[in-house]
Amino acid sequence: MIATPTTKPHTGKDYLNLTLTATDKLERSPNQSLLPLTAKINDKDHLEIGGCDISALVKQFGSPLYILDEVTLRTACSQYRDGFKTHYPGESQVIYASKAWSCLAVVGVIASEKLGFDVVSGGELYTTEKALAQLGDSSQEIAEKIYFHGNNKSVEELKQAIEIGCTIIVDNWLELETLTQLGNSQSGSSIPILIRLTPGIECHTHEYIRTGHLDSKFGFDPNQLQAVFSYIAQQNVLDCRGLHAHIGSQIFERQPHQDLAGVLVEWLKIGSESGLNLRELNIGGGLGICYTEADDPPSIEEWVKAVSEAVIKACQRCEIPLPKLIAEPGRSLIGSACVTAYTVGSRKEIPQLRTYLAVDGGMSDNPRPITYQSLYRVVLGNRMSAEMTETVTIAGKHCESGDIVIKDAQLPQTHPGDILVIMGTGAYNYSMASNYNRLSRPAAVLVNNGEANLIVRRETYDDLIKQDCLPQRLLP
């Protein structure tokens, strides 16, 4: 876990020392680290990630810039994958929650670590399928790796998923009946599905990211499941393989997931007694990461161990064989692997009240502060050893008073052109980015061993108007 400091960090360098005492950095659980595992300070007093100087990256690729550390991402993948192999004696599969960040390169790295993918839209499904095909996967391999979520999948999306052959996680009666109709209207193999249920388990997270309590838009209520099982048992076109539930995101407690395991296993037994061949159990994801030094999530292995033991114990109690255990982490795989670099611009000082320091991005590349009141930490990437002497509010450049990246941030004295680095921006930053105020969405680079590869190009002004249409009748 992250160490609780006795004093606040005095320099950017101090943030490199806030992680517990692993002899080797790569032994750390990435979700417990504020900065990517490869972060270091070079002889120019600049922050380096993946062997790449942050200031040099901004000079080459511009800013704002997402900088994704490949080593940190791969380490999180391997800790999840190997953790289940160690602690769960049955079959297991880790699938990445693509909504955290979906692009071809992210799929490529995660696929090479033998993880599967959870997708929640036709666009994420398309991206994942195209990336896996480019990597050489067969149609069958692609189908086996993808699980398709969503509370209101369109008919077109369902047809897309059926054509690919991936597992569809069914969320409601309309979807269940639509899948039956689609399956009956075409010949071929049955449609693999999981049933999502709402387990009624609360967890202490933001209201918008709690999805396991009964008042949720996701999943079947438990009192519907017997009818659901009976319906599926009569449909030859549906191959119901198991159950799924997800209780929320940015969770630090282990007990909610242990409770969830017990609920799911009990329903797995009831479903099997209803004549279904249920052999998969998807426990969801939700493990949190460190956004500040006050955050204290369990390590990836601690979470995996707790979940595995809870499933094993519940299966023994219910006297059923161990199912294939599936987990779908997103934030804890990629959140800590990325930072965002900004360039400092204007400054406004309001005596005895506040100093605003503006950067060249904001809510269009990171909507989480204005949406969730999320907290972040920042360092001055081009002067890491400089003493933090002032408190400033880092403001975005958008025409919106609420466009504040960090309120009351501790920083050294800054100057226009300095590089600010915000930590922990791998999850829900790129994926929720917008063109608000017609700002171009940032570029992203993948860094490893001193090499930086562009994985998302910066949008141009031409890109901004590419989908616009000017009616002919408006032209002179």
Q: Name the CATH superfamily housing domain 12-70+337-459.
A: Lyase, Ornithine Decarboxylase; Chain A, domain 1 (2.40.37.10)
The answer to whether domain 12-70+337-459 and domain 71-334 are alike in fold is: no
The whole-number pLDDT of residue 413 equals: 96
Q: What is the mean pLDDT of residues 98-126?
A: 98
Q: What are the extents of the domains in the chain?
A: 12-70+337-459, 71-334
Q: Which residues are catalytic?
A: 399
Distance separating alpha carbons of residues 389 and 412, to the nearest angstrom:
5
From residue 54, give the alpha-carbon distance in Å to each of 15, 40, 384, 444: 16, 11, 11, 13
- In this prediction, residue 32 has a pLDDT band, given cuts at 50, 70 and 90, of very high
- Can you give the pLDDT at residue 90? 97
Range picked from 220-224, 248-252, 289-293 for highest mean pLDDT: 289-293
**149 compared with 25, residue with greater pLDDT:** 149
**pLDDT tops 50 at residue 6:** no
Lowest mean pLDDT among 145-154, 217-226, 400-409: 217-226
Q: The pTM is what?
A: 0.93
pLDDT (tens digit, 9 = 90+) per residue, 38-56? 999 999 999 999 999 999 9
Bridge partners of residue 382, in order along the sequence: none
Mean pLDDT of 217-232: 90
Return the pLDDT at 42.
96
Would you state the pLDDT for residue 20? 43
**CATH, domain range 71-334:** 3.20.20.10
pLDDT at position 202 is 57
**Residue linked to tokens 């799929």:** 107
* Interval 172-224: pLDDT, tens: 999 999 999 999 998 678 999 999 998 876 544 433 333 444 556 778 988 89
Tokens 């009666």: give the residue. 173
324: left (phi over 0), alpha (psi -120 to 50) or beta: beta
Please tell me the predicted confidence (pLDDT) of residue 248.
Answer: 85
